[in-house]
Amino acid sequence: MTKQSNTALITGASSGIGWELAKIHAKKSGDLVLVARSRDKLDALKLELEAQYGISATVIAEDLSKPGAAQRIFDETQARGITVDVLINNAGFGGHGLFHEQNLVNIQAMMQVNMATLTELTHLYLKGMVQRKRGRILNVSSTASFMPGPLQAVYYATKAYVTSLTQAIAEEVAVDHVTATALCPGAVATGFVAAGNLEGVDIWKQAKSAQSVAQFGYGAMERGELVAFNEGKLKFLLNWVVPLLPRKTMLKMSRQAMEKA
C-alpha cells in the first residue's frame, strides 16, 4: 500500500511561528518545503529536522515581497515533483506609526507579503487539493483582523483581508474535503516586534511564545477549525464586546493599545 504524502509548505519558516510549525509537522513525520528569504537559516533548519525526524525538507529561498514570488515557488515544487498537501501561509510583517508618515515602499511590500503573495500561493496550491479531494490550509492572521488599527492601519487591514478570504474559501471547498483555517493570535514573542518598530507597545509585555501559538494553530488546522483564537479572553472580547461598542470608542481603544509607553 502506497504511503499517503503529507508535505507541508511553510512560508516565513526561518524563525518564529513558522520555525515552530515546521518542527511540529516534522515531528509528525511530515515532509516540508521551507520558504523564507534567508537560505542559511532554512538550510540549518532542514539539517536539524532531517537528522532528528528522518523526514525530507526542501529549501526555497524567496523574497515574498517581490511580485511573482508565489509563481516561482509553485513552479519549483512542480519541477521537483512535490505534492503540497498542507499550505501554511505564515509570512507577514507590520509597521508602526502614522499612516501618512510611513514609507510607501514598506507599505507596498507589506501588502504584497501579507495579502498578494498569500492569495497567489493559496490559489496555485488549492487547485490540486480540490482535485485530490484532500488538503489543509492554515493562514496566520491576527486578532488585529477584527478592528481597524490606528498606528498600524495597513497591517490591521491586511489581516482583515486574510481572515475574510480564509473563511470564504473554507466554505467554498468544504464539499471537496479541504479545510482552511485562520489562526488569529494576539501578541506573540517573535522578531515581528523589532521588524515592525513595535518596541515599547505595552501589549507585547504579555506576548505568548511562538511555540505555544504554533502548537495551538497546528491543532486547530488539524481539526478543521474556521477561525482559531489562542486566547479565550480575546476571543470573547472580539466576538461579543467590540462589535457592540460605538465605532469611535472602539477606534480610540484600538489606538491606545498601539501607543508606545
Mind telling me the catalytic residues?
Answer: 155, 159
Q: Are 217 and 140 in contact (CB under 8 A)?
A: yes
Per-residue cell: 231: 486566547
Going by C-alpha positions, the residue among 31, 62, 74, 36 that lies closest to residue 49 is 31
* Residues 144, 147, 152, 155, CA torsion sign: positive
Cα–Cα dist 87/71, whole Å: 14
Fill in the DSSP letter of residue 245: S
Sorted by sequence, the CB contacts under 8 Å of residue 114 that are 6+ apart come out as: 92, 93, 155, 158, 159, 161, 162
SS3 194: helix
C-alpha angle 111/258/231, rounded to 5°? 85
SS3 187: coil
Q: Are 162 and 91 in contact (CB under 8 A)?
A: no
Q: Are 26 and 7 in contact (CB under 8 A)?
A: no
